[in-house]
Structure 1
């Protein structure tokens, strides 16, 4: 009987973590998959609950209601010491703010983990006065707010001055194998949702400008997109005369993503807004030279000229010039690829990030 009681005690979660479905697609799901694969869930006795899943509206609503019920049950019955939510904007924020409220009522320490490049606009422009106050209250009432970079931490301090902010970047595993000899000349890879906000339109225009001087140029736009956005990409590629140079392989799982990163001469993510994009970190870890736009936490992870190249968002001429540099200069590609991989090993490895999260949990557990 004593051993059974011991197993029940050991099985009780120390941390309730809430986010999107672990088998989902997108940056937050990728972050969570890395943390789980690194063993953080087992070491810290984390019970995971998803309040979001891909699918039709009814399926999403069902997932949200079921996840909220599960989170409330764990908070009120198992009484975890810490409730840690991964949140972005709009419905994601509303769901997670409710979970944090339940966590506070149950006596738990709470962590609001901020993701999503659109959160600043959501909080400052899109939210009405009542919702804006609730966002500020949620941030300031949390035991800790985790921001992905110094820039995002600065925004949180500005928007919610009493928030207690910690900076923890996204983690990315470092592949054992390198890419030498496998890249294909002129192959430009984009990984992300196929939308105008990811800079896909600017990337198509830049590729069209470069195509006459680069007969081997191919643009691989890998990721999910709505039928409307995919039709727009195909139509725009035809209008620009580069339809035969554009590939749309759709969403890629981990193995397929590794293959595409190995084949790419360079990786490009010219987004209009970002948090800390996992696709960019994965490209750096894979030893693929990276070009990205100067938004969100990107400039802190990718230092212009040192670990990769940065351009202003929406600046097609600058994007074309930087792409041309990388296409034409093998030495530059090699130097940036090596530096980017070293940057990941030093700052964004799973050991470093998981250790930082474990330290925050330990600190909060001492504040109970």
Structure 2
């Protein structure tokens, strides 16, 4: 008798091939690909863009892309209403998809982090207040009977502050791929690196300002910025206006190999973001023995960095600059932290995270425990290709 393939629909505002795709999308797709390998029928509904077709199957996952960053929510609601799924995963990146209103199956809410500051910086006071009310007040009430999954204990505590009982929130951490082989060695001159989407809440200006503050004592200091996004021209103009355009290199998009080589050449990795659910790139830098400096108040980075062991957490901008200088000036401490980070990064892997995520999926969907056959996963890939 054939094993029934459970059906999981994940709704997200974008995917990793989207120009603004980032760590949240990477997490969603790694979980989706893993479930597909294990025999699930998996689909992702997200916004359309010009870098990918509207319909395709990748690694066993069926992608359906429709709508822009606003209308994607309407398209997703239609997809949810007509889906013959055992579970819908509503990925709440600030704004939920309100899957519970139309889904004919259980709904699991995935939250990387909360977005209070981002609502106001992106939409201004009035619309920002509305957005934060939806995220902080309406969504917890609407999903009061739903289970949640997040990537850090910090976010679980923040959800609890909104009235979401911790007993309904599971933490499933990000995994980390082993760093690819690279011939790159730490640069001879002091080099800082920042890998991020170029958007306002990542506060990349803080890294540029840090270069301005440190330049008098570090005449050869350089900052390598890897990533793309709508804030690119703003940052280029800002570096020029601050007089450090010759020290700040905005690389834009890079291949994974080039990104890892850039990380491996750095002395210190910077993460000045206002908010992160976890900070995958912190662990990627650690995989190359590069310690990170980030803000203690930025959410999940306080877990991805073990303060004073794998990196340093700062309290405000001036402390951020001071912490960077501490690591630039002390090669022995920098190396020790880098090695501690390398060992810790090796303890995070996607298969362990997938085991935990799958267990939660089966529990929420009311599916019996047990493994699905490899043949059914192969059949799913063939089915999706047709």
TM-score, normalization: structure 2? 0.78
The alignment status of 1:27 with 2:30, answered yes or no, reads: no
2:9 to 4, 16, 19: 16
1:263 and 1:361, CA in 2 relative to 1: closer, same or farther beyond 3 A? same
1:136 and 1:334, CA in 2 relative to 1: closer, same or farther beyond 3 A? same
Structure 2 counterpart SS, 1:268: strand
Q: 1-side partners of 2:40 and 2:229: how far apart?
A: 36
For 1:264, the equivalent position in structure 2 comes to 266
In structure 1, list runs of 5 or more residues that go unmatched.
none
Give the deviation of 1:179 after TM superposition.
Answer: 7.0
Structure 1 counterpart SS, 2:110: strand
The alignment status of 1:145 with 2:120, answered yes or no, reads: no
For 1:112, the equivalent position in structure 2 comes to 109
Give the deviation of 1:281 after TM superposition.
Answer: 2.6
For 2:61, the equivalent position in structure 1 comes to none
In structure 2, list runs of 5 or more residues that go unmatched.
52-65, 121-127, 369-386
1:311 and 1:179, CA in 2 relative to 1: closer, same or farther beyond 3 A? farther
- The C-alpha deviation readout for 1:237-285, integer Å capped at 9, x for no partner, is 2333211111111133423322221222221011122221222232223
Q: 2-side partners of 1:151 and 1:301: how far apart?
A: 11
- More helix, by proportion: 1
2:305 to 283, 294, 302: 302
For 1:88, the equivalent position in structure 2 comes to 93
2:40 to 30, 40, 45: 45
Structure 2 counterpart SS, 1:287: coil
Give the deviation of 1:351 after TM superposition.
Answer: 2.2
Q: 2-side partners of 1:184 and 1:193: how far apart?
A: 27
The alignment status of 1:282 with 2:291, answered yes or no, reads: no
Cα-Cα RMSD:
3.1
Q: 1-side partners of 2:274 and 2:337: how far apart?
A: 23
The alignment status of 1:215 with 2:216, answered yes or no, reads: no
TM-score, normalization: structure 1? 0.81
Structure 1 counterpart SS, 2:143: helix
Q: 2-side partners of 1:131 and 1:156: how far apart?
A: 10
8 Å CA contact 1:199, 1:270 repeated in 2? yes
8 Å CA contact 2:185, 2:265 repeated in 1? no
Bigger shift: 265-274 or 27-36? 27-36
Give the deviation of 1:198 after TM superposition.
Answer: 1.7
Q: 1-side partners of 2:292 and 2:130: how far apart?
A: 32
8 Å CA contact 2:47, 2:68 repeated in 1? no
